[in-house]
Amino acid sequence: MAPREVDHESAPSPAPVEKGFATLSTLRIGVKVFVEKDGEERKAEILSMQTRKGKPTFYVHYEEFNKRLDEWVAAERIDLNREVEWPAPEKPDKKKQGAAQSKAHPAKADNKIPKGQKRSRSQVERDSPATPGITESQGQGKAPEPSKAGGKENRDGSVAVISTVVEDGTPKPEDEEMDLVDVQDAAAAAKAAAPEIYSREDEIEKLRTSGSMTQNQTEISRVRNLNRIQMGDAEIEPWYFSPYPVEFSDEDMVYICEFCLEYFGEEKPFHRHRSKCTLLHPPGNEIYRDDYVSFFEIDGRRQRTWCRNLCLLSKLFLDHKTLYYDVDPFLFYCMCTRDEHGCHLVGYFSKEKESAEGYNVACILTLPQYQRKGFGKLLIAFSYELSKREGKLGSPEKPLSDLGLLGYRAFWQETIVDLLMEPGRTDANVEELGTLTAMTTNDVLHTLQNLNMLRYSKNQHVIVLTDAIIEQRERQKEKEKIKGKKSIDSERLMWKPPVFTASSRTWNW
């Protein structure tokens, strides 16, 4: 999906699209048609086709909608009175994915392939001229204060700052408006853009050495494979593809044990399993407990099966999560609510045992049945609590999902606004805010800028607590008073940062 929109956004001159009218029988994978969605017609791409009960059905992805809204639609919902867009001619280098696709869904394997790879190549050309300048400015100040830096990402930020100051870093003299923040942003932009120029090999190598998020289209199967899942007392529609056993795609319902997260394509074995399963909480040590939730720490290497199950489950709801490599290098922090049935998994985040990029969260998820209840903020707060205990600054692994971004922004805003509103505070500096919150300098800046709090007034930069923001926060606090504030109490965290020796890393112990 991503590459398509990239095109739409910035490709200089997209190849002319071949349009025309189609009939049901000429529709094929890759064709973009107008589909009725919630009372309006939206352009959607056909990703798969099947005949169900003698009727053709189409799996479509709506443009500018998240993939989680992709769905199977009956032919009636497709408006054939409007012109459709035919897919570009086949690219020979795309066979692989087509093959895999048709294998999984033997519908009408039309071998039309999404244009991801080809386009990323053109992206390379487009992006590369800009990149050198940025790397230069990044490279200028390699030295300063590595101790403070939580990781590469954080380092880049402060590096950019210092190089601007010391070396009169004016990469583009003609740009009068050049500001430190621009440099920094450019660096960040380069980082964010970088994934798009990854080749498949680069991507896999990146996944091998670290990380759990993929940006490569080929990594993601485009058609959701499970229909529904039953877990605990909830029934959930999956959002994305997850590599559960192939035969599960034929089942109407997949049953997942709430405690061990084992999965069953049929009810009988699931019931049998429940009669045998003795697990009542995530299989690890409880490291946090308050009246509301508990946190368990699970080592991916010691609890391989459970963590694999967890990853399979969470892949259903995380688009960019990759299960390409095994769970060994991650720790999983699982948040549970408790009752007399056991500890119910509400959400979790994973964290690399050692993150080269200074990430303090790899994947983060609140299970759909618990969403919009404030659990996400608790998870995020907990991840920063761990970073504080480690004495490091942290940031979530990129790319963030849409929901992830909103969750993080909300948390950052609240955290920083609370700090700035502390009585008696007359000034603040960005790094100090970072140190107090375990947030990276970049994320602090991001938040301040996003809230329009960073202004330039009377020849200096100031942080403005705007009326709207204060009001917003007051309203929030009122709500908290009524509902009870859910937060992490660092006193209750019984945790020391785990240490992994060189040999354990080398030998995967």
Partner 1 sequence: MTQRQTAQRFRQRKLSTKQNLPVVREHEVEKTTAEEDAQRHIPRVETGVEKGEEIEHHLQAVISASAAAAVGGKVAQIYIPTPEAKASSVKYSDLYPRQFQQPATYIRFSSTVEDCTGTPYCMTSEDEAWLKVLNAKRERGRNSIGPCSEDAFEEVISFFEATAQTKQPFAAVDNPPVIPYDEMEDAFDDTIDPSARAFARDIYSHWKAQRVKRGNRPLMSNLKFETGQETDDADPYVCFRRREVRQVRKTRGRDAQVTEKLKKLRKELEDARYLVHMVKQRELLRKEQLAIDRKIFEQRSEVKKVKRDLGVKGDDEDLINQKPVPKPSKLKTDATIAQRAPGTILRPPTRPDGRPPDTEIVLLDDQKAEKQRMIDRSVEERITQHQNWNVGFHDLTWRPLTPPLEPSNNGFQTVIVTDHALPSPPPSTEDDMDVDGAAAPSKPTEADEPVEPSDSTPTTTLAPKALRSSTPLSYLASTPAPSPQPLYPEAPVLSFRTRIGRNNRTWLDRRITPSTPTTPSTLLHPFSNLFNASKAWHANHSLDSDLDFVVADRMKYESDNDEDDGEGGFVRDLLYPVDHYSDESMRLRSAFAVAGRRDSVGQAGPPGQQQGGGQGPGQGGGQAQEGLLVAPRVPQVVNASVS
Q: Given the rule CB under 5 A, which residues bind Zn ion?
A: 257, 259-260, 277
Q: Among 165, 163, 155, which Cα is nearest to 137's?
A: 163
Contacts of 250 (CB under 8 A, 6+ apart): 265
Size of residue set near partner 1 by CB under 8 A: 175
Judged by CB under 8 A, which of 28, 65, 80, 486 binds partner 1? 65
Point out which span in 274-282, 354-362, 375-383, 477-485 binds partner 1 (CB under 8 A): 274-282
Q: Among 211, 497, 208, 212, which Cα is nearest to 355's?
A: 211
Q: Are 154 and 358 in contact (CB under 8 A)?
A: yes
Catalytic residues: 397
Q: Are 150 and 392 in contact (CB under 8 A)?
A: yes
For the CA atoms of the chain, what is the radius of gyration?
A: 25
Q: Which residue has the tokens 């056991």?
A: 342
Q: Among 406, 400, 412, which Cα is nearest to 453's?
A: 412
| Phi then psi dihedrals of residue 22, to 5 deg | -130, 160
Interacting partner of 164 out of partner 1, Zn ion, none (Cβ under 5 to 8 A depending on kind): partner 1
Residues in a beta bridge with 79:
34
How far apart are CB 86 and partner 1 at their closest, in Å?
22
Interacting partner of 372 out of Zn ion, partner 1, none (Cβ under 5 to 8 A depending on kind): partner 1
What one-character DSSP code corresponds to residue 284? S
Question: Residue 72, interface with partner 1 (CB under 8 A)?
Answer: no
Contacts of 101 (CB under 8 A, 6+ apart): 48, 109, 221, 222, 223
Cα separation, 196 vs 398, in Å, equals: 13
| Phi then psi dihedrals of residue 304, to 5 deg | -60, -45
Cα separation, 297 vs 71, in Å, equals: 36
Interacting partner of 350 out of Zn ion, partner 1, none (Cβ under 5 to 8 A depending on kind): none
Cα separation, 43 vs 435, in Å, equals: 47
Cα separation, 171 vs 133, in Å, equals: 7
Question: Residue 451, interface with partner 1 (CB under 8 A)?
Answer: yes
Question: Residue 9, interface with partner 1 (CB under 8 A)?
Answer: yes
Cα separation, 114 vs 371, in Å, equals: 32
How far apart are CB 274 and Zn ion at their closest, in Å?
7
Question: Residue 328, interface with partner 1 (CB under 8 A)?
Answer: yes
Measured from the CB atom, the residue of 30 and 396 that comes closer to partner 1 is 396
Interacting partner of 221 out of partner 1, Zn ion, none (Cβ under 5 to 8 A depending on kind): partner 1
Measured from the CB atom, the residue of 26 and 373 that comes closer to partner 1 is 373
Interacting partner of 89 out of Zn ion, partner 1, none (Cβ under 5 to 8 A depending on kind): none
Question: Residue 121, interface with partner 1 (CB under 8 A)?
Answer: no
Map the footprint of partner 1 across residues 376-435, applying CB under 8 A.
396, 398-406, 408-409, 420, 425-432, 434
Cα separation, 315 vs 360, in Å, equals: 19
Question: Residue 234, interface with partner 1 (CB under 8 A)?
Answer: yes
Question: Residue 450, interface with partner 1 (CB under 8 A)?
Answer: yes
H-type alpha helices, 49-115: 95-104
Q: Are 73 and 58 in contact (CB under 8 A)?
A: yes
Measured from the CB atom, the residue of 80 and 287 that comes closer to partner 1 is 287
Question: Residue 99, interface with partner 1 (CB under 8 A)?
Answer: yes
Measured from the CB atom, the residue of 62 and 259 that comes closer to Zn ion is 259
Amino acid identity, position 348: Y
How far apart are CB 264 and partner 1 at their closest, in Å?
7
How far apart are CB 83 and partner 1 at their closest, in Å?
22
Interacting partner of 323 out of Zn ion, partner 1, none (Cβ under 5 to 8 A depending on kind): partner 1
Question: Residue 166, interface with partner 1 (CB under 8 A)?
Answer: no
Interacting partner of 136 out of Zn ion, partner 1, none (Cβ under 5 to 8 A depending on kind): none
How far apart are CB 33 and partner 1 at their closest, in Å?
18
What one-character DSSP code corresponds to residue 338? E
How far apart are CB 301 and Zn ion at their closest, in Å?
21
Measured from the CB atom, the residue of 24 and 468 that comes closer to partner 1 is 468
Question: Residue 500, interface with partner 1 (CB under 8 A)?
Answer: no
Q: Are 333 and 348 in contact (CB under 8 A)?
A: yes
Measured from the CB atom, the residue of 122 and 369 that comes closer to partner 1 is 369
Interacting partner of 407 out of Zn ion, partner 1, none (Cβ under 5 to 8 A depending on kind): none
